[in-house]
């Protein structure tokens, strides 16, 4: 499906449901072959962002629509997302060995660790307290889950910084339990 530069919006808006299914399927194959290994990305989010970004782009004349969407828009958009993620990398708490402290295998120890974590925080940092309580309720919680559940929404950089502080506190608790 080739189109001229000025009609990308018209082309996208005029696609039938069957054509959309075919294009999204092909974009899904492209996504899986290029980015399927990266757990930081969600295929549906990337495809949706690609389609939205295409409306503001100019497609070169004679280029196939799927080629344009995948090789130009998706690749560029995803590259920017991954650059930002790599620039400010955060290891999920679940991936650090300190997370073995916060498992519910030994309920008494788990309750003790939760109490110690709450004591370490105190009332000085309300955002950190929210993250700790969220983490206690759901030990498998990831940062993206925490971000999406906060109401009112809190800027991502503030949550990321609080998440780092939480990780540091867990490391302190681990050291304390190893020494004591």
Instruction: At 176, list the tokens.
Output: 């304390």
Q: Give the pLDDT score at 167.
A: 80
Total residues belonging to the chain = 180
Helix, strand or coil, per DSSP, at residue 119: helix
Co-location of 81 and 97 in the same domain:
no
Letter string b/e over residues 10-38, b meaning 16 or more CB atoms within 10 A of that residue's CB: ebbeeeeeeeeeebbeebeebbeebbeee
Co-location of 46 and 115 in the same domain:
no
Token pair 């073995």 is found at 100
Co-location of 73 and 131 in the same domain:
no
Rounded to whole angstroms, how far apart are CA atoms 127 and 147?
A: 11
Q: Give the pLDDT score at 99.
A: 46
Q: What residues make up the domain containing 109?
A: 93-179
Q: Is it the case that residue 17 has pLDDT exceeding 80?
A: yes
Co-location of 97 and 75 in the same domain:
no
Look at the chain and report how many structural domains it folds into: 2
Single out the residue in 67, 87, 107 at which a domain terminates: 87
Q: Which of 60, 131, 80, 79 is nearest to 102 (CA)?
A: 131
Give bridge partners of residue 64 from the DSSP assignment.
Answer: 2
Q: Give the pLDDT score at 173.
A: 77
Q: Give the pLDDT score at 119.
A: 80
Q: Give the pLDDT score at 4.
A: 44
Co-location of 78 and 117 in the same domain:
no
Say if residues 23 and 69 touch (Cβ distance below 8 Å): yes
Single out the residue in 53, 87, 121 at which a domain terminates: 87
Q: Give the pLDDT score at 20.
A: 93
pLDDT in tens, 19-59: 999 999 999 999 998 888 887 788 898 999 899 889 888 88
Q: Give the pLDDT score at 22.
A: 94
Q: Which of 75, 84, 4, 73 is nearest to 40 (CA)?
A: 84
Q: Is it the case that residue 65 has pLDDT exceeding 80?
A: yes
Q: Give the pLDDT score at 104.
A: 45
Co-location of 168 and 116 in the same domain:
yes
pLDDT tier at 159, thresholds 50, 70, 90: confident
Share of the chain above pLDDT 70, in %: 77
pLDDT in tens, 86-116: 776 555 544 444 445 445 455 566 677 777 7
Co-location of 101 and 119 in the same domain:
yes
Co-location of 130 and 71 in the same domain:
no
Co-location of 148 and 170 in the same domain:
yes
Single out the residue in 57, 87, 117 at which a domain terminates: 87
- State the first-to-last Cα distance of the chain, in angstroms, to the nearest integer: 68
Torsion of CA 62, 64, 67, 70, to 10 degrees: 110
Token pair 């299914």 is found at 21
Say if residues 91 and 52 touch (Cβ distance below 8 Å): no
Rounded to whole angstroms, how far apart are CA atoms 102 and 38?
A: 26
State the average pLDDT for the chain.
77
Token pair 């502080």 is found at 165
Co-location of 83 and 11 in the same domain:
yes
pLDDT in tens, 141-156: 677 767 767 667 777 7
Co-location of 75 and 100 in the same domain:
no
Co-location of 104 and 139 in the same domain:
yes
């Amino acid at each position: 499906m080739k189109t001229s530069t000025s009609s990308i919006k018209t082309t996208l808006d005029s696609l039938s449901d069957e054509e959309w299914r075919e294009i999204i399927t092909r974009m899904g194959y492209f996504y899986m072959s290029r980015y399927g290994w990266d757990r930081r990305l969600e295929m549906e989010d990337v495809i949706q962002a690609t389609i939205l970004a295409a409306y503001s782009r100019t497609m070169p004349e004679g280029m196939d629509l799927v080629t344009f969407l995948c090789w130009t828009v998706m690749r560029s958009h995803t590259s920017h997302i991954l650059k930002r993620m790599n620039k400010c990398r955060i290891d999920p708490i679940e991936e650090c060995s300190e997370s073995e402290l916060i498992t519910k295998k030994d309920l008494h120890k788990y309750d003790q660790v939760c109490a110690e974590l709450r004591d370490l925080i105190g009332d000085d940092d309300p955002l950190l307290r929210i993250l700790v309580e969220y983490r206690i309720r759901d030990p498998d919680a990831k940062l993206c889950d925490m971000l999406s559940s906060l109401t009112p929404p809190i800027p991502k950089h503030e949550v990321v910084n609080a998440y780092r502080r939480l990780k540091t506190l867990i490391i302190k608790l681990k050291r304390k339990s190893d020494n004591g």
